[in-house]
Amino acid sequence: MLIVLCSGMRAEQKDYADEIRAAQEHGRYGIAAELYRKLIDSGTDSPEIRSNYGVMLQLAGKSRAATEQFRVALHANPNLAAANLFNGLAELDLGRTKQAIPYLERAVQLDQVRPEPELALGRAYAALRDFKSANDAYLKAAKRDRNSAEAWYGVGITDRSLAEAELNHGARSGRVQTPETRTLLDDAYKALRRAAELDPQSARVHLILGESIRDSGKLVQAIPEYETAIRLEPQMEAGYLGLATTYWKQGEWEEAMPPLQRALELAPHDAEAHAMMADLLFRQNDPKGAGQQAAFAISGNPKLALPRVVLARIDLANKEPVKAAAELEQVAELDPDGSYHFLLWRAYKMAKKPEQAEAALAEFHRRRDAIDKPAVHP
């Protein structure tokens, strides 16, 4: 980051340059920034010096002050790659994502060798939920540096997000996958596996890799990834929830309970965790506890399907089919495999609504056929 200062400087200015170099080398960015300020005050100034001053401020966590220096530097010389890159990063840190994009795009144009500009641009587009543009940027970063774990992680996470955009409901619901989503999830797995090879101590990489493996249907193989993530970061609530979800999807209810309880200890207001707890308690013949957990989950996230399905099962057990149907009708369009419509068929049949029951049964078969599973006749 340090510029080459011209010969003929005063001794005082040379001292500042030496001190700046030493501070930078030891990661003392706040001290380096203060020394840059003194250097400027001493009469040595240029767009490059202002850019370096801004970089040190940004690295020291002073993003707002950094943007002031970048503004001065870029007004004098708009083609400073570092100023554009770090000004974009500063805008991101300040929550001004849209303002960051032009600077990062300019940085990409000015520096077509290093991966950092593309990585930053990918981060910005991901923050705007423009996952296609983010994926493109991360792929270009990976092309620039095949050994960048951050680039491969970005590719993997945005591939997953693109797959999510093609599906019709939340992340843990056993969705129907199209060929396009399967391709995206396969690509995500490959990218995340590469990221894990490059950075095996990254808990977040192992976490998302576990998610990718689980979404591909390889539940048993996903478990070690979650366990690794938890080992690397014992307070990672998402790791425990992912592990619990995997056991839950395998029908291993007892194994799911300990990691789920730990997830709730770490994140007591996690609606998805409460929804899963509701399902497990219902399966353990605790309808009262299940109902309480389902209600808590719905209060946290009214769009979740699972707690309403649990409440519907409780209502059916209590011979209250009208209440059960009311719960199921709210989530019927999110049905991943026909199971919600099977319950809805039961509710309508118990409520003596033959036309609605017939329609629910037809939709049950249609959804089962759509995922290439043999229709199961109730």
184 to each of 31, 72, 133, 163, 278, how far by Cα in Å?
46, 43, 15, 6, 32
Q: Break the chain into its structural domains and give their ranges.
A: 1-111
Q: How many CB atoms lie within 10 A of CB 124?
A: 25
Given its phi and psi angles, is residue 199 left (phi above 0), alpha (psi -120 to 50 degrees) or beta? Answer: beta
120 to each of 8, 96, 125, 151, 334, how far by Cα in Å?
38, 14, 9, 10, 35
Fold of the domain spanning 1-111: 1.25.40
The span from the CA of 375 to the CA of 112, in Å, is 55
Q: Which two tokens stand for residue 89?
A: 């990063």
The span from the CA of 46 to the CA of 40, in Å, is 9
Q: Please give the chain's pLDDT, 378 residues, in tens.
A: 444 444 444 556 667 778 888 888 889 999 999 999 998 988 889 999 999 999 999 999 999 999 999 999 999 999 999 999 999 999 999 999 999 999 999 999 999 999 999 999 999 999 999 999 999 999 999 999 999 999 999 999 999 999 888 774 433 334 456 788 888 989 999 999 999 999 999 999 999 999 999 988 899 999 999 999 999 999 999 999 999 999 999 999 999 999 999 999 999 999 999 999 999 999 999 999 999 999 999 999 999 999 999 999 999 999 999 999 999 999 999 888 899 999 999 999 999 999 999 999 999 999 888 775 444 434
The span from the CA of 75 to the CA of 361, in Å, is 67
Residue 6 is classified by DSSP as P
Q: What is the pTM of this model?
A: 0.80
Residue 5 is classified by DSSP as P
Q: What is the pLDDT of residue 217?
A: 85
The span from the CA of 115 to the CA of 228, in Å, is 28
Q: What is the pLDDT of residue 13?
A: 63
The span from the CA of 264 to the CA of 280, in Å, is 14
